[in-house]
Amino acid sequence: MVKRGAIPWEERANKVEVEKTEESVRPEATISVATMESTALSKDEKKVRSKLDEAFKDWKGVPYLLGGNGYDGVDCSAFLQIVFADYFDVKLPRVTVDQMKVGKSVKKNNIRIGDLVFFKTGRKTMHAGVMINDQQFMHASTSSGVMISALQERYWNDTYLTTRRVL
């Protein structure tokens, strides 16, 4: 699905060389939605999973850009706004603090695919992603762009703030 008036990152990557340092590439960046187990998913969850898989294929590796909202660069809240608008026809606010107010609150032990997860990554800094299963989330990372990370990873576990359900 090509949206936002830009060339998808994978096609563009063949034309533009992107410099990455060892410290900017984290191991979880190689995780693929398609490689995760899909056992015990309901029919609705499988639909959500399929749409998230499509979104990841379209956006994987797009670089992080504060204020960005396209294939040239995207920040975490714009990424969620785009994914939910383009793949689920759900409108989300543009900024993370407002996204945290939509939907209903979900306890961490009840997280499911499609839930929004929020983190307090600094004194005044927030971060957001969307769960692709009960353990991993897709997000626009400042270090590696659009990628998948594990919620149980120490950094994310320590900065976890809340979960919201909008689907």
Domain boundaries, the chain: 44-165
- Looking at residues 70-97, what average pLDDT do you find? 97
- Looking at residues 141-153, what average pLDDT do you find? 97
Distance between CA atoms of residues 160 and 167, nearest Å: 20
- Looking at residues 108-130, what average pLDDT do you find? 96
CATH class in words for 44-165 = alpha beta
Active site residues: 76, 127, 139
The DSSP call for residue 3 is -
pLDDT of residue 5: 47
Residues 6+ apart with CB under 8 A from 37: 133
Helix (H/G/I), strand (E/B), else coil: 46:
helix
pLDDT of residue 40: 80
CB 71 within 8 A of CB 4: yes
